[in-house]
Amino acid sequence: MTHDGLHLHGLTRRYANSGRIGPLDLDIRPGEIVAMTGPSGAGKSTTCRMISGLERPDAGSVTLGGTNFARLPVPQRGVAHMFESYALYSHLNVAQNVAFPLKAPSRPKLPAAEIEARANALLEVAQIAHLKHRKPGELSGGQKQRVALCRCLVQDAAIYLLDEPISHLDAKLRNELRGWIRRRQTGLEVPTFWFTPDAMEALSVADRVAVIIGGEIAQFAAPEEIYFNPATPDVARIVGDPAMNLIDGRLESRDGGAMAFAGPGIDLRLDDALAARASARGPRDVVLGIRPSAMQVGGEDARVQVYSWEPFGKYSIITAMLDGTMVRMKTPRLDRFDANALLDIAIDRQGVVLFDGATRRAI
């Protein structure tokens, strides 16, 4: 099926306590994967459920290939929805659960051999073919998640909604399935909408990423853009491994017109490009963002006290206190850093961003 994809126009869900999800505006092209990421409670699952028809929006619309979902009965929307809660049939075994959507009365009848072949192919990729005769009650959480994923992907859908498809798997399997799902879905001519609380998973799997915070889309952009130019401090706070460090302070003009950031325990001259943008705004309250990999041991930009140290084989993460603000540094050094030790650090200006303290937007 080829069409102009999925469009959300002002999609909104209101709650009695004056809480609200939306209005959401977003599009996904056929063959494209868009990931929505944000903290738990931000509105990811609600968005997913409004698209699949499990929740009724209070305003706005969902269209797919130009057809308004509000005018289509749910079974005719062609939505394959993988639930965060798995929602497996406990009385059916793994193979029967996966084959179930292909046997729905509303769809053309398929030969039994083809149903079995399609289900088997997916179970192989998900590495659970050997469990096919087990009931969901006999599976671990990670195994159930893979059954739910297979049951979603086995369908010929007009759109795929994957609500936390790989969150409970170990790293190796997550890594394999992430790549495999991406290659498979981008080869189909339909949109895929992937929901995950893990921003790095969103960045690695999607063509574009929507960051949802407090029910609103804070940024909708390509993965590099989200990572290197987060639109707001709230986006910066959840993106990265570990996430960007944020320090409240003031933008000040110095002698000779140079711009500097002054905050607790840190006084930082900005590089030319950032200083030019900053000086156009003039002195003001700002939030300084520093990527963990831009803070290195040895230097004269600030002094921090080690809080804890985590060696990861190829790099270490040092958590440290900068005059009361907790910061994280990602360093290639693998030697031990003891709690409470003092470190002088350097800050690479390439890894620095500024946000306006009042508007909360990037400068």
Partner 1 sequence: MRGAPAMSISLRGLIKDYGDFVAVRGVDLDCPTGQMLGLLGPSGCGKSTTLKMIAGIEEVTSGHILFSGREVHALPPGARNIAMVFEDYALYAHLSVFENIAFPLRVSHRPKAEIAQRVGAILKLLRLEAIQHERVRKLSGGAQQRVSIGRALVRKPEVILFDEPLSHLDADQKVQLRSEIKRLQQLQGLTSILVTHDQTEAIAMCDVIAVMNDGELEQVATPQTLYDTPANTFVAQFIGEPPMNLLSARLERTAGGVVIDGPTWRLPISDRHPVLRSMSGKDVTLGLRPEAFWLTDGAVSGTAATVTGKVRFREHRGDTDVLLVALEGAPEGAEIHVSADVPGPSPLREDDRVCLAFDDSKISVFERDSGRNMELDTVAGVGIAA
List of residues contacting partner 1 (CB under 8 A): 39-40, 140-143, 168, 170-173, 175-176, 178-179, 182-183, 197-200, 203-205, 223-224, 227-228, 237-243, 291, 293, 307-314, 317, 319, 328, 334, 339
Q: What is the DSSP letter of 244?
A: P
Q: Is the CB of residue 226 less than 8 Å from the CB of residue 276?
A: no
| Closer residue to partner 1 (CB): 200 or 260 | 200
* Strand ranges, E, within 101-154: none
Q: Give min distance, CB of 114 to partner 1, in A.
A: 25
| Closer residue to partner 1 (CB): 69 or 309 | 309
| Closer residue to partner 1 (CB): 33 or 159 | 33
Helix (H, G, I), strand (E, B) or coil at 204: helix
Distances (CA, A) of 66 to 60, 156, 185, 319: 14, 19, 21, 50
Q: Give min distance, CB of 60 to partner 1, in A.
A: 27
Among the listed residues 354, 356, 361, 302, the one whose alpha carbon sits nearest the alpha carbon of residue 329: 302
Q: Which amino acid makes up residue 156?
A: D
Q: Give min distance, CB of 35 to partner 1, in A.
A: 11
Q: Give min distance, CB of 172 to partner 1, in A.
A: 5
The secondary structure element, H or E, covering residue 93 is none
| Closer residue to partner 1 (CB): 92 or 306 | 306
Residue 209 phi/psi, 5-degree rounding, is: -125, 130
Cβ atoms within 10 Å of 300's Cβ, excluding its own: 9
Q: Give min distance, CB of 113 to partner 1, in A.
A: 26
Q: Give min distance, CB of 52 to partner 1, in A.
A: 24
Q: Give min distance, CB of 19 to partner 1, in A.
A: 15
Alpha carbon distance 306, 295 (integer Å): 13
| Closer residue to partner 1 (CB): 7 or 44 | 44
What is the full DSSP assignment across 258-308? -EEEEETTEEEEPPHHHHHHHHHH-SEEEEEEE-GGGEEEEEEEEEEEEEE
Helix (H, G, I), strand (E, B) or coil at 178: helix
Q: Give min distance, CB of 120 to partner 1, in A.
A: 21
Q: Is the CB of residue 241 less than 8 Å from the CB of residue 200?
A: yes
The secondary structure element, H or E, covering residue 345 is strand 342-347
For 67, residues 6+ apart whose C-beta sits below 8 A from its C-beta are none
Q: Give min distance, CB of 183 to partner 1, in A.
A: 6
Q: Give min distance, CB of 164 to partner 1, in A.
A: 12
| Closer residue to partner 1 (CB): 179 or 298 | 179
Helices (H) and strands (E) in the chain, counts: 9, 19
| Closer residue to partner 1 (CB): 155 or 319 | 319
Among the listed residues 169, 223, 225, the one whose alpha carbon sits nearest the alpha carbon of residue 33: 223
Structure tokens at 168: 């409970």
| Closer residue to partner 1 (CB): 45 or 293 | 293
| Closer residue to partner 1 (CB): 243 or 288 | 243
Structure tokens at 25: 């505006």
| Closer residue to partner 1 (CB): 211 or 278 | 211
